[in-house]
Amino acid sequence: MTVAAAAIVPFLFSCTGSKGSDSGEPEYAGYLFAYFEGRGEPEKQEQLRFAVSTDAVNWTALNGNRPIIASDTISKSGGIRDPHILRGEDGKSFYMVATDMFTVKYGWDENPGIVMLRSEDLIHWTHAYVDLAETYPENFGDAHWVWAPQTIFDPETGKYMVYFTLNRKGSGGLVTYYAYANDDFNGFEGEPQVLFSARYGSIDNDIIYKDGTWHLFYKGNTKDEGGREVKNGIQQATSASLHGPWAEDFVYLDAYAGKTPVEGSSIFKLNGEERYVLMYDLYTSGRYEYQTSDDLYRFDSIPRPFNKDFHPRHGSVISITRQEMDALRQRWGKYGFQATGNPIITHKHTADPAAMVSRDTLWLFTGHDSEGNQSGYKLKDWCVFSTTDMVNWTEYPTPLRVADFAWDRTGAAYAAHAVERDGKYYYFISTNGSGIGVAVADRPEGPYRDAIGHPLLTNEDCSGATHSWVCIDPAVFIDDDGQAWIFWGNRICYCARLKDNMTEIEGPIKRIDFDGFAFTEAPWVHKYNGRYYLTYATGWPEKIAYAMADRVDGPYEYKGIISEIAGNSNTTHPSIVEYRGKWYFFTHNGGLPDGTSYSRSVCMEPLEYNADGTIRKIHPSTESIFVK
């Protein structure tokens, strides 16, 4: 059966490196990561997901981190774990195997076998599963666990070998078996045979070939004389033949061995380099990290994290071409959802909204609190969404990460604001102390790149301030005469003109001050009926206040509070925009079930003016604009 891996919408041997055009083989431009998810609703975690990257460090989940194929359509159990993906020897076929297991429903007692998938384009997949006990009852009727299958091409036989860890009922052993896939990749040619039997057992095996040697990486352990495990981690065995014998060296390769448990090791080669990445799942802490090697024997000793917008469990990576990357993004690069109330975005934590109207589309740029129930700020990237009716929304791949700014030393993706100018889109971002930067893109959804290679503004531009986080929260306003202004600050509000190139300050920096101005942060400027409105966060916990002026740089007159303290959040952040003849007010709260002051969510309310131009008070609601 063939399935077109469905978007969920409320709508070589292991991994080869970059190939040159002279060889007639494809030149790889990025990477594809197949994984299952470790966070969110338990029933939806054990399903196949994809993410892509151009550098193997910064990853973006496809399909909004939703499954690309529903597990109950391809597996016997209704779940899958440990997906392994392989590019075929012809360069254009793809093979994937996964553990057929649904622990949420059936627990860890046993699993039936292996899911097998094949594709010619990474989009459409045929599928089948092998129940080991049912298919081979005589010698495998006692199969208990059939775990972490992988596929590799055997050059001696010209066939694809599927290997996996087997535990038999009543046995504590963990032995690696293999079988050759049939030509249709929907079953085995024959009964599985032993491939590798580690002294103390092994799981999560991954094989790669280099310079005449087969390297088998696995999670192993060390036992004392009494059979008690005293240490575990990633080890390897080597052989001159894919069929062994395999020589174990009993050396632990991961930096966490004996300290923090890891599993799910997977090895892949970097494009265009003789360098290999050994990644693994720190499953007790929810982290996913990697170490690198030039020779597959010696790995650097300091593990590093990936930058990602998802929480992967045991997965695998292959190299992909630019055409394949484009096809994947075209199919799953966007995620559609409907807003039915506040918060308007419920599948991830978003903060610090900045709305922009371009032609017939409203674009919403937000910060991204990494996860729920956070006790401190953890923001590594920004998000972008669009709508044409305020109900149906589209989320795009991560447009920008704080890691994209080489000059940043804080790793904190604070509030940002995007504007359109002369066919380009400029994304003004802030960090927690390194300054305000500006990125540029040809499309509102990005991707964006650092436009100048250094901060546009730093603390040195913020006179009168002594605290390190003063240079944050940029807000850009382009007046009717084409003059662009930037406002920013914490505790002190600053403004300045921008040059036409949008990447330089023009003239002096001015401090905004007036009677009643108790400024905390988050300025926003808009214009209505010829008058200028400065909206901002005030007090602590924060409320939203505003002032009005006849000139964009003041003097402003304080007009009062328009929105009270946000629910379950110490901070709030205004954005005001007119779209299709109506005015909208965006802010954030901590309104999701796992929301906090550090796990926030963007909300939206209608905004109305009085006859004299003052703003009517906005009362936060769960209905938002969706009142029947």
What is the C-alpha to C-alpha distance for residues 286 and 277, in angstroms, rounded to an integer? 19
Domain assignment present for residue 299? The answer is yes
Residues 47 and 192 in one domain: yes
pLDDT tens per residue across span 602-613: 999 999 999 999
Residues 466 and 548 in one domain: yes
Domain assignment present for residue 547? The answer is yes
Kindly write down the DSSP assignment for every residue of 3-45, as one continuous string.
EEPPP------S------GGGTSPPEEEEEEEEEESSS-HHHH
Domain assignment present for residue 618? The answer is no
Note the pLDDT of residue 9.
30
Residue 205 has pLDDT above 50, yes or no: yes
Note the pLDDT of residue 170.
86
Comparing 40 with 313, which gets the higher pLDDT?
313
pLDDT tens per residue across span 331-381: 998 888 999 999 999 999 999 999 999 999 999 999 999 989 999 999 999
Q: Which of 268-272, 325-329, 525-529 has the lowest mean pLDDT?
A: 325-329
Angle, alpha carbons 514-520-525 (nearest 5°): 65
Domain assignment present for residue 133? The answer is yes
What is the C-alpha to C-alpha distance for residues 548 and 525, in angstroms, rounded to an integer? 10
Residues 42 and 70 in one domain: yes
What is the C-alpha to C-alpha distance for residues 304 and 173, in angstroms, rounded to an integer? 32
Residues of the chain above pLDDT 90, percent: 88
Residues of the domain holding 74:
2-9+28-332
Note the pLDDT of residue 334.
83
pLDDT tens per residue across span 395-428: 998 899 999 999 999 999 999 999 999 999 999 9
Mean pLDDT of 379-400: 94
Count of structural domains, the chain = 2
Q: Which of 33-37, 108-112, 241-245, 302-306 has the lowest mean pLDDT?
A: 108-112
Residue 325, CA distances (Å) to 51, 54, 154, 321, 559 in order: 10, 9, 27, 6, 51
Angle, alpha carbons 433-364-494 (nearest 5°): 40
Note the pLDDT of residue 333.
87
Note the pLDDT of residue 293.
98
Q: How confident is the model at residue 7 (pLDDT cuts 50, 70, 90)?
A: very low
What DSSP designation does 405 have? -
pLDDT tens per residue across span 238-289: 999 999 999 999 999 999 999 999 999 999 999 999 999 999 999 998 899 9
Residues 448 and 385 in one domain: yes
Mean pLDDT of 85-102: 97
Residue 338, CA distances (Å) to 24, 342, 385, 390 in order: 46, 11, 12, 9
What is the C-alpha to C-alpha distance for residues 529 and 287, in angstroms, rounded to an integer? 52
Residues 194 and 342 in one domain: no
Note the pLDDT of residue 342.
96
Note the pLDDT of residue 306.
93
Residue 431 has pLDDT above 80, yes or no: yes
Note the pLDDT of residue 627.
62
H helix runs in 40-174, sequence order: 42-45, 103-106, 132-135, 137-140
Domain assignment present for residue 619? The answer is no
Note the pLDDT of residue 32.
98
Note the pLDDT of residue 20.
39
Residue 46: give its domain's CATH number: 2.115.10.20
The domain boundary, picked from 289, 304, 332, lies at 332
Q: How confident is the model at residue 172 (pLDDT cuts 50, 70, 90)?
A: confident
What is the C-alpha to C-alpha distance for residues 88 and 25, in angstroms, rounded to an integer? 13
Kindly write down the DSSP assignment for every residue of 532-558, as one continuous string.
EEEEEEETTTTEEEEEEESSTT---EE
The domain boundary, picked from 332, 349, 381, lies at 332
Residue 328 has pLDDT above 60, yes or no: yes
Note the pLDDT of residue 11.
28
What is the C-alpha to C-alpha distance for residues 81 and 42, in angstroms, rounded to an integer? 13
Residues 264 and 378 in one domain: no
Q: Kindly state the tokens that stand for 71.
A: 């597990």
Q: Name every residue whose Cβ is closer than 8 Å to that of residue 271 and which is 6 or more positions away in sequence.
A: 17, 18, 28, 29, 30, 31, 56, 319
What is the C-alpha to C-alpha distance for residues 135 and 131, in angstroms, rounded to an integer? 6
Q: How confident is the model at residue 17 (pLDDT cuts 50, 70, 90)?
A: very low
The domain boundary, picked from 312, 332, 352, lies at 332
Work out the mean pLDDT of the chain and round it to a whole number: 93
Note the pLDDT of residue 13.
37
Residues 303 and 356 in one domain: no
Residues 97 and 169 in one domain: yes
Residue 8 has pLDDT above 50, yes or no: no
Residue 515 has pLDDT above 70, yes or no: yes
Domain assignment present for residue 14? The answer is no
Note the pLDDT of residue 492.
98
Closest residue by Cα to residue 296 from 219, 215, 202: 215
Comparing 452 with 228, which gets the higher pLDDT?
452
Residues 70 and 190 in one domain: yes
* Residue 563, CA atoms < 13 Å, CB-side half-sphere: 28
Domain assignment present for residue 17? The answer is no
Residues of the chain above pLDDT 70, percent: 96
Residue 432 has pLDDT above 70, yes or no: yes
How many C-beta atoms lie closer than 10 Å to residue 480's C-beta? 7
Residues 195 and 267 in one domain: yes
Residues 350 and 243 in one domain: no
Report field, pTM of the whole predicted structure over 0.85: no
Residues 262 and 394 in one domain: no
Domain assignment present for residue 19? The answer is no
